[in-house]
Amino acid sequence: MASLIRKRISKKITKAMYDFSLLEEGDKVLVAVSGGKDSTTMLVELASRLGKADPEYQLEAIYIQADFADPAPKTFLESLCKTHSIPFHFLSVGIEKRLKENQKLNCYWCSTQRRTELIQFAIKNGFNKIALGHHLDDIIETLLMNMVYKGEFSGMPPKVIYEKYPVSIIRPICYCEESEIQSYAIEGGFAKYTCTCEFAKNSHRKRIRKEIESLTQGNSTLKQNVFKSMKNIKMDYLL
């Protein structure tokens, strides 16, 4: 029998699926996994839906490892995918080696390089959708980061349809809060796997995260209101 936290996560994923039409009949979905709680939760939940009431879709996973990253997650992810009968792909990318002279490695550069490799792999292997493990907190953090550091009102939509690529990005756990996923991961026994990237220690995201915590005091309704603001835009009151 499913626990309360698993039911809650599952319900929120189902709502996201229908609200944003994330999955359709015949989709071939590539799940980007890191070994962390977010993408692992997403993978487990998507795998549990295969062959059930949702549209019929294919599911495979890929782990892209940077040249400076800890190799430990690979073994865990291979085992997890085998348990759920999900094909697993591994891609080693020399991200640090691509830096030009006097260029420093940062989160944005790393993310861009991995995203490019991910999209190219998906196209080459016939996937039409890529699932990313961004939760509600990630999304509202990105929204505020772009406002503060870029001067633009943009974020990470639950579904992105590229014009120049034959693939779409979907974010099935967009309604789930990080605290909920943490509880799910603890119950599932995979909470010990976290991001160990040393370059993220002083990132803009961590600073914005602290500001959001101060503004909302962890209140779920207030966080959801920030999320809802992205589709409740009053153009008459903007420049």
Counts for the chain of helices (H) and strands (E), in that order: 8, 6
For residue 68, what pLDDT is reported? 73
For residue 191, what pLDDT is reported? 80
Q: Mind listing the domains of the chain with CATH numbers?
A: 4-230 (3.40.50.620)
pLDDT bin (cut points 50, 70, 90) of residue 80 is very high
Which helix H or strand E contains 58, and what residues bound it?
Answer: strand 57-66
Three-state secondary structure call for residue 64: strand
For residue 199, what pLDDT is reported? 53
Per the prediction, the chain carries an average pLDDT of: 90
Structure tokens at 115: 């995203």
CA neighbor of 60 nearest in space, from 91, 93, 15: 91
pLDDT for 77 beyond 60: yes
Structure tokens at 24: 């359709």
Average pLDDT over residues 62-83: 88
- What is the Cα–Cα distance from 9 to 6, expressed in whole angstroms? 5
Average pLDDT over residues 14-38: 96
Contact 57, 27 (CB under 8 A): yes
- Tens of pLDDT, residues 35-46: 999 999 999 999
For residue 92, what pLDDT is reported? 87
pLDDT for 2 beyond 60: yes
For residue 108, what pLDDT is reported? 74
pLDDT bin (cut points 50, 70, 90) of residue 195 is low
pTM above 0.75, yes or no: yes
